[in-house]
């Protein structure tokens, strides 16, 4: 019993709990070893099958605009593809691989990835990983404590909804009230959290943000939110991180206090 009570984080019951995905609700390995490789493996066939659809044409338009911006900003280094006027399937695949290799979290890439994953989820090739305690706490927090759940991830809102609606615990979207991606702003920018506060119509002091990234926690804290660090498998926090923020290994470690 004593061990179970170790590292509990006792907080005033918030109105909203805002969650990161990778490393917080979901294993990093699921994203790195399942979702990203799926895009690399399936992208070409997906583009062949959907090339003339409005959805894919819009995705390619946005991706090409990003490519042109990267050229102007000299971000592409040794990558020069296409004819600077349009993309074909080969150049899209090369550019997407380059963006993923460099861990670029740009909107056009995330949007296209989401559409590729959508096909995988809908055909049963992908089931979203969500930790057992996350599913359990989402249900308890919303039903017993009337806490609203929000998601803020670098992955597109579409990708977020796909993961939680096709999770290994079934459809968890009924428990989620808000979804935010980098269209609201970068995750390490304090202004992004201020905008989220405005969007949900709540005070920042009534929001708790859960993430495995200390710089994101710092940005959220500077906006007035409380931030708690997730310390799942594969997450390594420094002593300074743990001194600055409370940390948890499971959502079950969060205990609400009534003031």
DSSP string, 106-154: -HHHHHHHHHHHHHHHHTTS--B---HHHHHHHHHHHHHS--EEEEE-S
The pLDDT of residue 1: 38
Query: Of residues 199 and 71, which shows the higher confidence score?
Result: 199
pLDDT at site 233: 86
- The enclosing H or E element of 12 equals strand 9-12
* 5, pLDDT greater than 60: no
Structure tokens at 171: 């459809």
Q: Which fold has domain 9-26+128-257?
A: Rossmann fold (3.40.50)
List pLDDT tens digits, range 140-164: 999 999 999 999 999 899 999 999 9
Question: What is the distance between the alpha carbons of residues 194 and 224, in angstroms, rounded to a whole number?
Answer: 8
Give CA angle at 252 (251, 254), nearest 5°. Answer: 75
Measured between alpha carbons, how far is 255 from 12 in angstroms, rounded to an integer? Answer: 8
Q: What is the DSSP string of 156-193?
A: -HHHHHHHHHTBTTB--GGGEEEEE-TTS--TT-HHHH
State the average pLDDT for the chain: 92
Dihedral class, residue 253 (left if φ above 0, else alpha if ψ from -120 to 50, else beta): alpha
* Strands 207-211 and 176-180, sheet pairing: unpaired
The pLDDT of residue 215: 97
> Collapsing DSSP states into helix, strand and coil, what is residue 18?
strand
In the chain, domain spans: 9-26+128-257, 32-122
What contacts 44, CB < 8 A, 6 or more positions away? 89, 93
pLDDT of residue 210: 99
Take residue 180 and report the two structure tokens written for it.
């935010």
The pLDDT of residue 2 is 38
- Determine the CATH number of domain 32-122: 1.10.720.60
pTM: 0.88
Sign for the CA dihedral angle at 185, 241, 232, 143 comes to: negative
Give the model's pLDDT for residue 3: 43
> What's the pLDDT score for residue 79?
59
Mean predicted confidence (pLDDT) in 60-71: 89
Q: Mean of the pLDDT values across residues 207-216?
A: 98
Question: Do 236 and 216 form a contact (C-beta atoms < 8 A)?
Answer: no
Q: What digits encode the pLDDT tens for the residues 215-235? A: 999 999 999 999 999 999 889
Mean pLDDT of 195-206: 97
Quote the CA–CA distance of 259 and 33 in Å, as a whole number.
43
Q: Alpha-carbon torsion 61, 66, 72, 77, what sign?
A: negative
In this predicted structure, the answer to whether residue 83 has a pLDDT above a threshold of 70 is no
Distant-in-sequence, close-in-space partners of 48: CB < 8 Å, separation ≥ 6: 89
Band of pLDDT at residue 87, cut at 50, 70 and 90: confident
- At 80 the pLDDT is 57
Report the SS3 class of residue 15: coil
């Amino acid at each position: 019993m004593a061990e179970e009570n170790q590292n509990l984080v006792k907080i005033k019951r918030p109105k909203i709990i805002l969650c990161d995905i990778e490393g917080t609700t979901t294993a990093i390995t699921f994203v790195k070893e399942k979702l990203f490789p799926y895009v690399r493996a399936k992208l070409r066939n997906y583009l062949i099958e959907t090339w003339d659809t409005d959805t894919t044409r819009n995705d390619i338009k946005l991706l090409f605009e990003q490519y042109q911006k990267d050229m102007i900003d000299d971000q592409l280094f040794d990558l020069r593809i296409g004819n600077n006027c349009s993309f074909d399937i080969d150049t899209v695949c090369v550019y997407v691989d380059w963006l993923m290799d460099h861990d670029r979290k740009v909107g056009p890439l995330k949007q296209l990835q989401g559409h590729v994953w959508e096909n995988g989820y809908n055909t049963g090739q992908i089931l979203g990983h969500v930790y057992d305690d996350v599913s359990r706490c989402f249900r308890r927090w919303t039903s017993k404590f009337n806490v609203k759940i929000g998601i803020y991830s670098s992955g597109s809102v579409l990708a977020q909804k796909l993961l939680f609606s096709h999770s290994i615990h079934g459809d968890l979207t009924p428990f989620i009230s808000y979804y935010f991606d980098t269209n609201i702003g970068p995750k390490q920018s304090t202004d992004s959290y201020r905008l989220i506060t405005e969007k949900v119509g709540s005070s920042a002091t009534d929001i708790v943000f859960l993430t495995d990234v200390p710089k994101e926690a710092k940005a959220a804290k500077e906006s007035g939110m409380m931030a708690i660090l997730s310390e799942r498998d594969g997450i390594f926090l420094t002593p300074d991180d743990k001194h600055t923020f409370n940390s948890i290994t499971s959502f079950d470690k969060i205990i609400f206090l009534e003031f």
